[in-house]
Amino acid sequence: MGTLKLENIRKSFGSVDVLKGIDLDVRDGELVVFVGPSGCGKSTLLRIIAGLEDATSGEVLIDGEAAGHIPPAKRGIAMVFQTYALYPHLTVRDNMGLGLKQAGTPAAEITTRVAKASAMLSLDDYLTRRPAELSGGQRQRVAIGRALVREPKLFLFDEPLSNLDAALRVNTRLEIARLHRELSATMIYVTHDQVEAMTLADKIVVLNNGRIEQIGAPMELYNSPANLFVAGFIGSPKMNFIDAERLGHHTVKTIGVRPEHITVDPKAGTWQGSVMHVEHLGPDTNLYLDSKEAGLITIRIFGEYRTEPGALLYATPDSARTYRFDAAGQIIA
Ligand SMILES: Nc1ncnc2c1ncn2[C@@H]1O[C@H](COP(=O)(O)OP(=O)(O)OP(=O)(O)O)[C@@H](O)[C@H]1O
């Protein structure tokens, strides 16, 4: 079992309020991703869950039990950091087994668990190496292995992929997804990469400035953002926000439309504009169109689209997929 409940968690450093009342329920076996811009409080919240930091007020409950007075090592939590935090002088095998050894686990049990974890992570061939003899991706797998052998109730990942190059990041992301499936383990995962959030999460928690903006399944957040912040944060390229007054709406403050929900045509359409810039990504094309009615808008076209800066084009938003926001930035249903 591994459930987590956060009740009105607040944290201040001096006069600075970093977390302003966080409530969250994580079910057993769920993979929950915290996303949000730099400085919004993601790592602080994770450290409070781990017990590495005390909340100013509020309660952390692990499996229904208040964890406030339980030291980090006794919480049944294993944390995987961005920086791996491996011991350079120890072999892979000893790095993975060290926590168990310190906890007094019998040697035979350590051997069994390390063997199981190294098989799961394809580390069998590296057990006698030291961290310096491994690639970044292999080091991160060792760090994950060290968490696995502890068979924790809760795994915490703090931006575990951000030191890896793009290809390795994709591989390791798949690895974590597979582990989550195979272990049915409860995992909390912090990232500022929204692709990781979208692809890994059962549930995404969008944090901003110490508060939760919205909690939902990835596609729920994509399809039904609660407000401008979430609408702008989830989705890449980011949603276009158009001042509604420019379009003649007076009850609405902002119109939102995603780049992938706009079509272009050289002859006719809703907004006319000139191409400012074209990006060919291979599978698709990003067009930046400077339009009189809507301002500068980003359009994502599937496949290769041939045009060049200065060309005149018409853009038409899919009216079924536009969003309206009020002056406070909340969605209007
Ligand atoms: N020990 C500390 N003392 C004072 N301020 C702190 C301390 N730790 C964090 N903060 C501040 O709290 C805020 C939240 O930091 P936190 O590291 O939780 O953000 P984050 O969302 O994880 O950011 P990032 O994505 O950049 O890692 C920041 O403004 C940071 O400067």
Residues 6+ apart with CB under 8 A from 110: 97, 100, 101, 149
Higher pLDDT, 203 or 162: 203
Residues 186 and 214 in one domain: yes
Q: Which of 197, 230, 263 is the C-terminal boundary of a domain?
A: 230
Q: What is the pLDDT of residue 208?
A: 96
Residues 6+ apart with CB under 8 A from 223: none
For residue 250, pLDDT over 80 is answered with: no
Mutate which of 40, 83, 159, 207 for ligand 1? The one with the most ligand atoms within 8 Å of its CB, which is: 40
Q: What is the pLDDT of residue 164?
A: 79
Residues 169 and 121 in one domain: yes
Residues 185 and 129 in one domain: yes
Percent of the chain with pLDDT over 70: 100
Quote the number of domains for the chain.
2
Residues 184 and 73 in one domain: yes
Q: What is the mean pLDDT of residues 234-242?
A: 95
46 within ligand 1 shell (Cβ under 6 A): no
- Looking at residue 189, its amino acid is Y
Q: What is the pLDDT of residue 162?
A: 83
41 within ligand 1 shell (Cβ under 6 A): yes
Mutate which of 10, 18, 159 for ligand 1? The one with the most ligand atoms within 8 Å of its CB, which is: 18
pLDDT in tens, 99-121: 899 889 999 999 999 999 998 88
Higher pLDDT, 162 or 17: 17
For residue 85, pLDDT over 90 is answered with: no
What range defines the domain where residue 308 resides? 238-332
Q: Please spell the DSSP secondary structure of 271-316, one letter per residue.
A: EEEEEEEEEE-SSEEEEEEEETTTEEEEEEEES-----TT-EEEEE
Residues 209 and 139 in one domain: yes
Nearest CA owner, ligand 1 atom 3: 13
State whether ipTM is beyond 0.85. yes
162-166, 169-173, 230-234, 272-276, range with the lowest pLDDT: 162-166
Q: What is the pLDDT of residue 169?
A: 85
CB 195 within 8 A of CB 167: no
Residues 65 and 113 in one domain: yes
Q: What is the CATH number of the domain that holds 58?
A: 3.40.50.300
Q: What is the CATH number of the domain that holds 306?
A: 2.40.50.140
Summary mean pLDDT of the chain: 93
Q: What is the pLDDT of residue 175?
A: 86
Nearest CA owner, ligand 1 atom 27: 38
Residues 249 and 141 in one domain: no
